[in-house]
Amino acid sequence: MKSGVRHQLAEKMAGEITLSDSPGQALKKWRQSFNIPPGILAERLEVSPSVISDYESGRRKSPGTAIVGKIVDTILSIDEDNGGRFINKFAKILYSEFDEDVIYDIHEYASAVSLTDFAEAIGGVTLCGTTDQTIYGYTVINSLNAILQLSSSEFNRIYGWSTERALIFTEVSTGKSPMVAIRVTPFKPRCVVLQGITPGEVHPLIPGLAERDRITVICTQMGVEAIISSLRGKLW
């Protein structure tokens, strides 16, 4: 594993956890992003699983920088032992640049954001699925350019640091194309936002596709610039 990539990932993870208003939630996000069960992490750290649970829930005082560093190093070591799948995934994100005509905005949250609050911020109307869940980021994507220009591996990079995010596809006609693209890729977002159309204009196949992958679909007629401005203005 490239030591430079590992070091940069460790710095990003530790910094986000330490500086977060909710360190426990940030820790949980990273553990889940690496698909590591709390029991496995606890075993490698030689602590009780309840210690991990207490940190993540906020029942235990936030860990100091030394403990955060140890937890982050352990998460990365576990991934390395399993072939480094997620380190490689995040490395591609670290060193990738998106064309401005494909990705309009991409942002990560240090702690969980209510999908209900997110939908309200963009004037969203729920088409299917539930908003009673949380996300850790969003990506605003030019739907047509993404489908035309990105390969399958490049398309996966729109998920940023976590698939627990909202993908906002702009200027869609029926929403069918982005949902089909998501259907045939390995990663699934928590939420898809179809910008520029009403629920009545959505292709009839969309609810079924979304249900299969447990994706909440939201429609909004708010302009792209207004969406970005609204989301960037929130203190989440």
pLDDT digits (tens, 9 = 90+) for 83-137: 988 888 777 666 555 667 888 888 888 788 999 999 999 999 999 999 999 999 9
The pLDDT of residue 12 is: 82
Helix/strand/coil (H/E/C) assignment for every residue in the chain: CCHHHHHHHHHHHHHHHHHCCCHHHHHHHHHHHCCCCHHHHHHHHCCCHHHHHHHHHCCCCCCCHHHHHHHHHHHHHHHHHCCCHHHHHHHHHHCCCCCCCCEEEEEEEEEEEEHHHHHHHCCCEEEECCCCCEEEEEEEEEHHHHHHHCCHHHHHHHHCCCCCCEEEEECCCCCHHHHHHHHCCCCCCCEEEEECCCHHHCCCCHHHHHHHCCCEEEEECCCHHHHHHHHHCCCC
For residue 67 the two structure tokens come to: 């403990």
Per-residue pLDDT at 2 exceeds 60 = no
27-59: per-residue pLDDT in tens? Answer: 998 999 899 999 999 999 999 999 999 999 989
The pLDDT of residue 3 is: 55
Contact in structure between 190 and 163 (CB atoms under 8 Å): yes
Of 189-193, 215-219, 222-226, 231-235, least confident by mean pLDDT is: 231-235
The residue among 174, 186, 176, 7 whose CA lies nearest residue 87 is 7
| Distance separating alpha carbons of residues 178 and 158, to the nearest angstrom | 12
The pLDDT of residue 162 is: 80
The pLDDT of residue 118 is: 98
pTM of the model: 0.66
| Distance separating alpha carbons of residues 10 and 141, to the nearest angstrom | 28
The pLDDT of residue 206 is: 97
The pLDDT of residue 185 is: 83
216-220 and 166-170 strand pairing: unpaired
| Distance separating alpha carbons of residues 194 and 178, to the nearest angstrom | 9
The pLDDT of residue 163 is: 86
Burial of 73 (0-12, 13-18, 19+ CB in 10 A): middle
Residues 6+ apart with CB under 8 A from 34: 75, 78, 79, 86
The pLDDT of residue 88 is: 80
Stated length of the chain = 236
156-210: per-residue pLDDT in tens? Answer: 778 877 889 999 999 999 999 999 999 888 889 999 999 999 999 999 999 999 9
Residues 6+ apart with CB under 8 A from 144: 171, 177
87 vs 80, more confident: 80
